[in-house]
Amino acid sequence: MNGMTIALVAAGGALGAVMRVVIQHLLGPLSEARGFAIGTLAANLLGCLAIGIVFGLLERIAAESLRENLNAFVVAGVLGALTTYSTFALDLLKQADAKGIAMAALYLGLSLVLGLALAALGLRLSGASLSGV
């Protein structure tokens, strides 16, 4: 890892963190009305779709240095900051406390099932597959 990689991850991380905060802010009223962490769910699901697309597209880039730089910026930086397991875990615990285990289980199920489905859709949209990985 070199200084350029660190800078790319940091720049992408700044962008992804801002994107997550904006999504949570925009969906905040809906989250409060439903008693459901919709902002975190939306950010994580968007990240799942995006990582499938980006992964598939990056596999097509022949220039290894460009592929590595884009991976650092987009995957590790932007998507790493946009999606967040710690926020997901906290929201899940809050959900269980405020709305009960059934609602928390629904949130967990939606996050996992839809997240995997969107990552697979992203791969398909990019024309890639995991068969060669």
Domain count, the chain: 1
Q: Would residue 133 count as lying in a domain?
A: no
Q: Please indicate, yes or no, if residue 108 is contained in any of the structural domains.
A: yes
Q: Is residue 78 part of a domain?
A: yes
CA distance 100 to 57: 41
Is residue 77 pLDDT above 90, yes or no?
A: yes
**Is residue 91 in a domain?**
yes
Percent of all residues in the chain with a pLDDT value above 90, rounded to a whole number: 65
Q: Residue 115, Cβ neighbours under 10 Å: how many?
A: 19
User: pLDDT tens-digit profile of 37-71?
Assistant: 899 899 999 999 999 899 889 888 878 899 999 99
- Is the CB of residue 72 less than 8 Å from the CB of residue 54? no
The pLDDT assigned to 133 comes to: 46
Q: What is d(CA 59, CA 1) in angstroms, rounded to the nearest whole number?
A: 20
Q: How far apart are alpha carbons 8 and 109 in whole angstroms?
A: 33
Q: Which domain holds residue 40?
A: 3-126
**Is 132 part of a structural domain of the chain?**
no
- Say what the pLDDT of residue 31 is: 81
pTM: 0.79
pLDDT of residue 60: 85
Residue 73 in any domain: the answer is yes
Rounded CA-CA distance 107/87 in Å is 13
